[in-house]
Structure 1
Amino acid sequence: MYQMISTQNEDGIFTITINRPEKMNALNQQVLKELALAVEEIYSDRTIKAAIITGAGEKAFVAGADISEFLTLSEENGRDLAQLGQVIFQRIENSPKPVVAAVNGFALGGGCELAMACHFRIASENARFGQPEVNLGLIPGYGGTQRLTQLVGKGKAMELMMSGDMISSADALSWGLVNYVVPAAELMSKTISILQKINAKAPLAVSRVIKCVNAAIDKQVDGYETELDEFAACFGTKDMEEGTAAFIQKRVPNFTGE
């Protein structure tokens, strides 16, 4: 089904691996289209509870877009390409199931944008982040100007995007771009352990947390109103009944996502 990515569903955790290690997992249009299909699996497959996006090998998560494809693009083509990327990354950001980036090596340009579209990020010690598009006479086009600003603040985002510099995993942690930095050998186990913890919680509540947090940065909606609606909706779920009953009875809840 896929040629440039690989997928695996193990115990409800769906791993999407960008699989072009010889090209530093660069995002070409074929990769984007395959990624879009894999993301739709997260939405539609009831056996998937959470997802990980990572890159093949230890050198790169995704080292950027495939620059060779840019040489023939017109303004109109460029807009279409950016819109394709933005739509896919918005689907990741708005996934009702947790999607975490396990960042191994370089996450540059479109790779950094892909990582930022995930709900949070865990990095290996050798990870490097950056938006170096200005070196090519370009700017980020897959939502990077917006998400980087939201995550690290205006000043740091301005500096990183205007200088084209890379930052280390340690800097990314101190800036708030990633949640954890771990040795490369522990990257996937750390990511899986966090998702296993999340998967033990009420799925509908987790989904509503994602929706409400995203509403905090969505100019089109009132985040507080969204929270009111989603909080109220929890009271119509079996998971809320089970969770509160389990708490009172001092037992582990058995959530069903209903």
Structure 2
Amino acid sequence: MQDTDNKGQVHLAIEGGIASVTFDRPAARNAMTWAMYERLRAICEQLREDRSVRVVRFQGAGGEAFVAGTDIAQFQDFDGERGVEYERQIDGTMQLLAGLPMPTVAVVEGWCIGGGLAIASTCDFRIVTPATKFGVPIARTLGNCLSIANVAGLVAAFGRPRVQRLLLLADLVGAEEAQACGYALEVVPAEGIEAAAQKLCKKLASLAPVTQQVSKEALNRLLRHDLPEAEDLIRRTYGSLDFREGVQAFVQKRPPVWQGR
């Protein structure tokens, strides 16, 4: 079954019990617009109720990126409250994705940054190519922050020391390191990633779905347990002069000048 609604440039196809979700904006490295996030939420809501789907795979179009974050040009009129609203929407989208009852697989080629890293980290498994790079370089590029739920998800996926590097040093994690720490299930050449993804999806589809469902929910409940309130941190960051400078510097294609205010 092919989904013909191209709204938001996120496509859905379902065949043989495997759903394929494609982020399709290769000219911008599949950076997410508001419409793309809205479409992703709608797809997750649809798949959550579709008992014929046994596995969901996510991938980016074009081979250069999975998702290179959120489209930064959309942040130009933000303040602290808009930042809180945005992070709530991201958290809501990730909750929908995490709540899919069937196993999920991120098929990652190239850049997987910011919002793309959140999507990939929310999936149950990740297959990557040698050129894949994971990161949240906001301390270098934009001057914003992540929600506490997003940070908790990254710590669960990578461990605190690597997340400190990602957030405080704006480092990138490559494919080999991602596999070594257990984040990436497999690293395969770009020409073999489709076959590897199909093999994994078919194996997942052959296993006991109820066991998979309750196991996923148990893991999700552990991650959600007792997360502290942190919206004050989001308001402070998105309301800062540095964040406004980061957005304007990106739009004007120049390095940002941080003032710590």
Task: Give the TM-score category using the shorter length.
Answer: 0.7 to 0.9
Q: Give the aligned partner of residue 186 of structure 2.
A: 180
Tell me the distance in 2 between the aligned counterparts of 1:22 and 1:54.
Answer: 15
1:85–1:142 contact (8 Å) kept in structure 2? no
Deviates more, 1:136-145 or 1:158-167: 136-145
Tell me the distance in 1 between the aligned counterparts of 2:55 and 2:166.
Answer: 31
What is the DSSP-based 3-state SS (H/G/I as helix, E as strand, rest coil) of the residue aligned with 1:76? helix
Q: Give the aligned partner of residue 6 of structure 2.
A: 2
Q: Give the aligned partner of residue 16 of structure 2.
A: 11
Tell me the distance in 1 between the aligned counterparts of 2:22 and 2:129.
Answer: 16
2:171 to 147, 165, 168: 165
Give a deviation string over 1:17-36, Cα, whole Å, max 9, x none.
00000111001111100000
What is the DSSP-based 3-state SS (H/G/I as helix, E as strand, rest coil) of the residue aligned with 2:224? coil
1:38 and 2:24 correspond: no
Task: Give 1:213 shift.
Answer: 2.1
1:82–1:142 contact (8 Å) kept in structure 2? no
Name the CA shift for 1:143/1:219 in 2 (closer, same or farther; >3 Å): closer
1:192 to 175, 194, 198: 198
1:29 and 2:39 correspond: no
Task: Give 1:125 shift.
Answer: 1.5
1:50 and 2:69 correspond: no
1:113–1:142 contact (8 Å) kept in structure 2? no
What is the DSSP-based 3-state SS (H/G/I as helix, E as strand, rest coil) of the residue aligned with 1:72? coil
1:90 and 2:89 correspond: no
Name the CA shift for 1:143/1:114 in 2 (closer, same or farther; >3 Å): farther
Name the CA shift for 1:142/1:55 in 2 (closer, same or farther; >3 Å): farther
Task: Give the TM-score, by structure 2 length.
Answer: 0.80
What is the DSSP-based 3-state SS (H/G/I as helix, E as strand, rest coil) of the residue aligned with 2:11? strand
1:214 to 210, 220, 232: 220
Tell me the distance in 2 between the aligned counterparts of 1:145 and 1:220.
Answer: 14
Letter in 2 for 1:61: F
Tell me the distance in 2 between the aligned counterparts of 1:201 and 1:220.
Answer: 32
Give a deviation string over 1:58-113, Cα, whole Å, max 9, x none.
10000111000011112111111111111111111121111111111100111111
Letter in 1 for 2:168: M
Task: Give 1:153 shift.
Answer: 1.4
Letter in 1 for 2:6: Y
1:64–1:107 contact (8 Å) kept in structure 2? yes
Tell me the distance in 2 between the aligned counterparts of 1:38 and 1:185.
Answer: 28
Q: Which has the higher contact order (CA 8 A, sep 6+)?
A: 2
Identity across matched positions, percent: 27
Q: Give the aligned partner of residue 110 of structure 1.
A: 115
Structure 1 residue runs of 4 or more that deviate by more than 6 Å after TM superposition: none
What is the DSSP-based 3-state SS (H/G/I as helix, E as strand, rest coil) of the residue aligned with 2:126? strand
Which ranges of structure 1 fall in alignment gaps of 5 or more residues? 222-258
Which ranges of structure 2 fall in alignment gaps of 5 or more residues? 228-261
2:153–2:223 contact (8 Å) kept in structure 1? no
Q: Rg bigger for which structure?
A: 1
Letter in 1 for 2:81: E
What is the DSSP-based 3-state SS (H/G/I as helix, E as strand, rest coil) of the residue aligned with 1:96? coil
Letter in 2 for 1:161: L
- How big is the alpha-carbon RMSD for the aligned residues of Structure 1 and Structure 2? 1.6
Letter in 1 for 2:211: A
Task: Give the TM-score, by structure 1 length.
Answer: 0.81
Q: Give the aligned partner of residue 251 of structure 1.
A: none
User: How many residues end up aligned between the 2 structures?
Assistant: 221
